[in-house]
Amino acid sequence: MSEAADTTTRSSWRVDGVILTVFVVVATAGQLVRQRGAPSWDTVWAEDGTLYTAQARGKSIVDALTTEYRSYLQVLCRLVALPTRWLPLSADAKYLALSAALTTSLLAVFVYWAAGTHLATRWPRLLLIIAMVWAPTMLWESNTNVANLIWPVLFAGFWAVVATSRRRIHTVARTAVVLLAVLTNALALAYLPLAAYLAYRRRDRGDRSVTLALVVGGLVQIIVATTSTSTPKDSSDAVKDVVGLYLGRVLNRLFFSDEYAERLWRHFGWWWAALCLVVLLAVIVWFARLAPRSNGFLAASALAYSVVLFAAPLWLRGTKSAALTADVFNLNGTRFDTVAALLLISAAVLALGDVRWSSDDRTRQVTAAILVVQVLAVVALGFRGVNGRSDGPRWSEQLAAAHQTCDANPNGSVALEISPPPDWSVGVPCTDLGR
């Protein structure tokens, strides 16, 4: 590399470093304030309280990290929750919200780098990670809680698979993220065919390492699944429900934003779902015309995985509990929408490739501008809203009430209610309240 090129590269890295440092701060703060009503840092979500923090405190470190839930491991969730074993109970809500938001932001930084191995320009990578941290699909169930970090890491896993390795540190980073993804969300095993194909075609040591990580992590998850008690489905399944949810909820919200998606579904129902399908097909045809040959396969892969990684978990859990009806725009299971929507955006930016505003042809520039406006408008319109934690209970109020109860009966125990009420609570001995 020439001295001039080396200087340019170092300058580019410095610019990226400044951009990403600012991004992490702003993205993390933005996630914390998205929730209307009770603040995210004073509420605790379901499994975060009853499962991850309770087991972090009640089990050994090894047992806490390797305990399965719903027949698979969630290593990242347990790693993030582990420090609560050394923190006072009063810090739980603040720590869980901040650590979940920060972890999502850091995963987005990895996606920015991984996407950069295919996209040299910054704007598509920034668009991608803005959507990743502030996607409307994250707000209802997944914003600032540890339990649903399984979805951002699953998305990061896709980019770890398709990225290329120029240095050994790149291979290490890709392999670590893929291994973390598959040991946190068993659905990441679906990336194995893609990883194996890329390892064969590109003959890259990093691809072989990533494939091996998927194999090893996948085998661990298969062993856990086959040796643990199977989890019953939440409800029955129907293909119609999956199709309706992908068209009427995932595409509807991605194309028309949370501001309008519900009322459009309620007014037009399946006719609107059909329109969303027509729009998707038209977009696919248009972007296929523009896609550079180098990224066309990866864009098609992202599109395919958008469908697979939405349908698979929904089917495994049962579709009826999340199904849309003429009267109800059901938000149950919206955590499944996140990766599907982000992979569609990934397919779009990969298909467009490096559009340069000063030198590219007008068609690609206009298409890129429409994509940017569309994604940012959807993010902005769905940035703040109510979710399953907006009505509390507030963690600080639960602790205050618990202290009063324990003052009267120091040897007893209390149940701290958490979101979403009334089915979730954390049992705590009075002797632990002062921790």
- pLDDT, tens digit (0-9, with 9 covering 90-100), for 139-151: 999 999 999 999 9
- Which residue matches tokens 């725009």? 329
- Pick the range with the lowest mean pLDDT from 47-56, 283-292, 297-306: 283-292
Rounded to whole angstroms, the Cα distance separating 356 from 340 reads 27
pLDDT of residue 348 exceeding 60, the answer is yes
- Give pLDDT, residue 7: 44
pLDDT of residue 362 exceeding 90, the answer is no
- Give pLDDT, residue 4: 39
Residue 12 or 370, more confident:
370
- Give pLDDT, residue 231: 73
Helix (H, G, I), strand (E, B) or coil at 219: helix
- Give pLDDT, residue 321: 85
- Pick the range with the lowest mean pLDDT from 186-190, 233-237, 291-295: 233-237
Residue 435 or 371, more confident:
371
DSSP-assigned letter for residue 5: H
**Nearest CA among 227, 222, 200 for reference residue 211:** 200
- Give pLDDT, residue 3: 45
Confidence of residue 235 (pLDDT cuts 50, 70, 90): low
- Give pLDDT, residue 435: 62
Q: If phi over 0 gives left and psi between -120 and 50 gives alpha, with beta otherwise, what is residue 325?
A: beta
% of the chain beyond a pLDDT of 90 = 78
**Nearest CA among 298, 389, 314 for reference residue 43:** 389
- Give pLDDT, residue 382: 92
User: Mean pLDDT over all residues of the chain?
Assistant: 92
pLDDT of residue 259 exceeding 50, the answer is yes
Confidence of residue 214 (pLDDT cuts 50, 70, 90): very high
% of the chain beyond a pLDDT of 70 = 96
CA angle 91, 97, 98 (to 5 degrees): 85
DSSP-assigned letter for residue 146: S
For the segment 166-182, the average pLDDT, to the nearest whole number, is: 94
Rounded to whole angstroms, the Cα distance separating 373 from 159 reads 23
- Give pLDDT, residue 102: 98
Q: In Å, how far from its chain's centre is CA 105?
A: 10
Q: Which amino acid, one-letter code, is at 89?
A: L
Helix %, strand %, coil % of the chain (to 5):
75, 5, 25
